[in-house]
Amino acid sequence: MIVIKGGTLVDGQRTVQADVRIDQGKIQAIGLNLEADQVIDATGQVVMPAFVDLHAHFRDPGLTYKEDLATGTQAALKGGYGTVVLMANTKPTVDNNEVYQDIVERANALDLIQIYQNYAISKGLKGEEWVDLDHLPASVKFLSDDGFGLQNNKVTFQLFERIKQLGKGLMIHEEDRELSEIDYRYAEDVHTMRDVYFSGKTGARVHFCHVSTIDACKAVEYGKAQGYPVTMEVTPHHLYLSGLDYKVHPPIREEADRRYLVEALIRGAVDCVATDHAPHSVEDKLNGSPGMIGLETAFQVVYKVLVEEYGQDLQLVSRVMSQRPAEILEVNKGRIEVGYDADLVLVDLAQSETIQPNTIRSKSKNTPMMGETFKGVVTTTVVNGEVKYRRDINEY
């Protein structure tokens, strides 16, 4: 039995000075003077549920010069993540059971974090022919053609009806590619409005990826108010950056968008933060590949925005980075309660870190935040009751 002693426990519901006892991968007890076989000293630190990322790219198989399962996992652990959902735009695409099972089995063999692999919606992500929806693995929770909006209205509506029947969920990158040629804002807004409406009419569960504009956010808020089964995420970079010419999809928006997203997150309209961790090589980035890495800096960026800029507390940070994404994924994580999975992270808020290439665990270094200094350093990440990362010795 492990006891984490001396820390301040913070989850989405409470902040309390107490210890946590872990046994057989679960939180067994919370209190003081708990017996232990092994002690983790958390004096002066906060103990939070490990973070849950609903949106990341590990580029494995096929693009492993950018990232692979091992390096992506190491980046996740350094950032305090115990659970990550991977998108299907690998090479080959995750549009058949063979590729899906290969990723799942190799991720499980690493025995580091919990990885959930999304399944593609269409073969080759082309939007022309759906995958074999009748023979999806039972473990598939969400389908996504992330990076490619669903273009045809009739086919999209029919897909929503089928997904409702299957009891699965959809994660959707909203982009009308015809309108992208005019304005990326219109492209995101129009398809978000359409798919909120389709979700309401079909009952399909839809999670809106990396919402970035005022009107797209308002559209999902409308759906929530109507009781539609819709949820949404925002990225750390859309909460922090504005007016920056750094290529990501959707683009970095204006300051008014940024502030609206932050305020929507604070009032609970936006469900959660997801990184859209998108590693690229230097050459690929120079050639226009969109995206940035984010797993290792997400907590620090969110802390800077919500706590330092907007004066919110750590409970909100925990709700949007752990509790709500775990609830959306329907896993027994994201809270410090007896019976929950013992996925925990220790954070030293007194420490600061300057983002440098040699401190990044990801294979890729593509972030406009390079050289910036942030408060809040993850010192220990525990997954399923086992210490998987310690900053002092860098063990995985």
Tens of pLDDT along 186-236? 999 999 999 999 999 999 999 999 999 999 999 999 999 999 999 999 999
Tens of pLDDT along 346-363? 999 999 999 999 999 999
Tens of pLDDT along 357-388? 999 999 999 999 999 999 999 999 999 999 99
For the chain, the structural domain boundaries read 2-47+342-390, 50-335
Give me the active site residues, please.
276
Tens of pLDDT along 45-70? 999 999 999 999 999 999 999 999 99
Q: Which fold has domain 2-47+342-390?
A: Urease, subunit C; domain 1 (2.30.40)
Quick one: pLDDT at residue 396? 40
Taking the CA atoms of the chain, what radius of gyration do you get in angstroms?
A: 20
The residue among 114, 74, 64, 32 whose CA lies nearest residue 331 is 114
Would 2-47+342-390 and 50-335 be classified into the same CATH topology? no
Dihedral sign for Cα atoms in the order 156, 54, 97, 284: positive
The burial class, CB within 10 Å (0-12 / 13-18 / 19+), for 290 is middle
The residue among 124, 114, 78, 66 whose CA lies nearest residue 343 is 114
Instruction: Give the other-Cβ count within 10 Å of 162's Cβ.
Output: 15
Residue 160 is encoded by which pair of tokens? 């929503």
CATH, range 50-335? 3.20.20.140
CA distance 300 to 343: 19
Quick one: pLDDT at residue 394? 64
Residue 38 is encoded by which pair of tokens? 């092994």
Pick left, alpha or beta for residue 24 (phi over 0 → left; psi -120 to 50 → alpha; otherwise beta). left
Tens of pLDDT along 118-139? 999 999 999 989 999 999 999 9
Give the number of C-alpha atoms closer than 13 A to the C-alpha of residue 85, restricted to the C-beta side: 30
Quick one: pLDDT at residue 395? 43
Quick one: pLDDT at residue 149? 86
Taking the model in full, what pTM does it have? Answer: 0.97
Mean pLDDT of 324-342: 98
